[in-house]
Amino acid sequence: MSRLHILRYPDPRLHTIAAPVEEVNESIRSLIADMAETMYAAPGVGLAATQVNVHKQIIVIDASDTRDKLLTLINPEILAAIGVADCEEGCLSVPGIYEKIERAERVVVRARGLDGEHFDVEAEGLLSVCIQHEMDHLKGRVFVEYLSRLKQTRIRAKMQKQQRQSA
Ligand code: NI
């Protein structure tokens, strides 16, 4: 396993739309193991393949307190979205920024797992928010893009300054 490089906002590659995975094979499983290692090391609660510059519909999430409940979603689709919740979100691609975003309170998602089989997951709370946030990445959308233009401009400037300082 190896840790992968995480793209930082406003990297334009974060706007790439991910393609569905055709076959869940060893190379996909190996990528997923690397994504999980990268997420746990960061540490973060979720990571989309888009963030490691692989434009395939793959997400890893662990929203548990114990950090031992890895959920892998391949080709996820939302079957139902119920209610409204606004939760403070953060993102490994936008370090240090936390903002409230409006999401569905509960979602039912269908995806393929590591064995390639389809399964449904019903989520609420942090897990629901996290699934929606990561699915947005697969569509090329970063959470800060829900904010006002003014806030986005400020965040972009802050990120570019951070990157200049670490370069
Ligand atoms: Ni994110």
In a domain, 7, yes or no: no
pLDDT at 118: 98
In a domain, 132, yes or no: yes
- Nearest partner of 11 among 131, 101, 95, 102, judged by Cα: 95
CATH assignment of the domain containing 138: 3.90.45.10
Q: Which amino acid is at 98?
A: Y
In a domain, 1, yes or no: no
In a domain, 144, yes or no: yes
Q: Per the structure, how many domains does the chain have? A: 1
Q: Kindly state the tokens that stand for 35.
A: 């994504």
> What is the extent of the structural domain holding 60?
12-166
In a domain, 3, yes or no: no
134 included as an active-site residue: yes
* pLDDT tens per residue, range 117-161: 999 999 999 999 999 999 999 999 999 999 999 999 999 999 999
In a domain, 22, yes or no: yes
139 C-alpha to center of ligand 1: Å? 12
124 C-alpha to center of ligand 1: Å? 18
Do 49 and 13 contact (CB within 8 A), yes or no?
no
> Within the chain, which residues score under 70 in pLDDT?
none
Whose structure tokens read 């979603």? 73
117 C-alpha to center of ligand 1: Å? 25
pLDDT at 124: 96
What are the two backbone dihedrals, phi and then psi, of residue 103, each rounded to the nearest 5 degrees? Answer: -135, 170
Could you please report the per-residue DSSP string of 40-76? Answer: HHTT-SEEEGGGGT--BSEEEE---SSS---EEEEEE
